[in-house]
Amino acid sequence: MDPGAFRGRIAGVLAGLLLLTGCAGGRALTEGPVGGAGKVPERGLGAEHVYTARGLGERYSEIVILDFSLEGTVVSGPGGGGFNDSVRSLATMVPDVVAGSLRRWGLFDKVERASTIDYPSASAVILRARFTTLASEPGGFLSRGSTTVAVDGELLEASTGRPLADFSHESRFEGGSDFRRAGVKLGRDIARFIRGLRYRMVNPGGG
């Protein structure tokens, strides 16, 4: 093949790859300075509704994160699935991940993990959630399997029970049956959603 034609073909392939990469990027969000000209909306969860026009940081200095409920959760996997130890551990592990992320970012003066609420603080927000689906798919000849963890959750004003936001979200781990890894990803996603609400960087009524 003529060297000039070969170089032209390579250039065409590279241009095509760049075009596909740009399209696949979609809505790639990066964080900008809060309140500054570079502010970018925090990544939403894909199916959320926000019922407050103010950032959580304007009114609330505490957040209480409850154990996630497994009531009514659909569990599936090899052998019919079931509530084994790895499934049950998600009820405390995922909210622990949320709490750890929020503490690390210093978004609230107090981040509390609890199984129940003992007192309604006027400056606190409550996060509670329920797992809707826990599914493990075995791998095959061309795949290593996957694990899916899905929740419905809501943020409430502790003193009144007034809803501030609700969401549905699904986390998927590709690479085998591993509820722990899927749960960690889910917890971090929820924490980022709350971070956006803290500074009111999530668009209202998203979904």
Nearest-10 Cα torsion for 181, 182, 188, 193: 180
* pLDDT in the model for residue 36: 27
Asked if the structure places residue 29 within a domain, the reply is no
Residues 6+ apart with CB under 8 A from 37: none
Asked if the structure places residue 206 within a domain, the reply is no
* pLDDT in the model for residue 143: 65
* pLDDT in the model for residue 86: 79
Asked if the structure places residue 57 within a domain, the reply is yes
Report d(CA 153, CA 181) in Å as an integer.
20
Structurally, the chain folds into a number of domains equal to: 1
**Percent helix, strand and coil across the chain, each rounded to 5?**
35, 25, 40
Report d(CA 96, CA 129) in Å as an integer.
13
Instruction: Provide the CA 20 distance to its chain's centre, in angstroms.
Output: 26
- Pairing outcome for strands 110-114 and 62-66: parallel
Q: Show the domain range for 102.
A: 46-198
Asked if the structure places residue 39 within a domain, the reply is no
Contact 197, 56 (CB under 8 A): yes
Residues 6+ apart with CB under 8 A from 105: 191, 195
* pLDDT in the model for residue 96: 97
Asked if the structure places residue 108 within a domain, the reply is yes
Asked if the structure places residue 106 within a domain, the reply is yes
* pLDDT in the model for residue 11: 44
Contact 129, 154 (CB under 8 A): yes
CATH for 160 = 3.40.50.10610
Please identify every stretch of the chain with a pLDDT value under 70, giving residue numbers as ranges: 1-46, 78-83, 138-143, 175-177, 200-207
pLDDT digits (tens, 9 = 90+) for 1-49: 554 554 444 344 333 333 333 333 322 222 222 222 223 334 455 578 8
* pLDDT in the model for residue 9: 47
Long-range contacts of 99-105 (CB under 8 A, 24+ apart): 99/65, 101/187, 101/188, 101/191, 101/192, 102/63, 102/65, 102/191, 102/194, 102/195, 105/191, 105/195
* pLDDT in the model for residue 140: 60
Asked if the structure places residue 64 within a domain, the reply is yes
Contact 49, 207 (CB under 8 A): yes
Asked if the structure places residue 194 within a domain, the reply is yes
Q: Which helix (H) or strand (E) holds 22?
A: helix 3-25
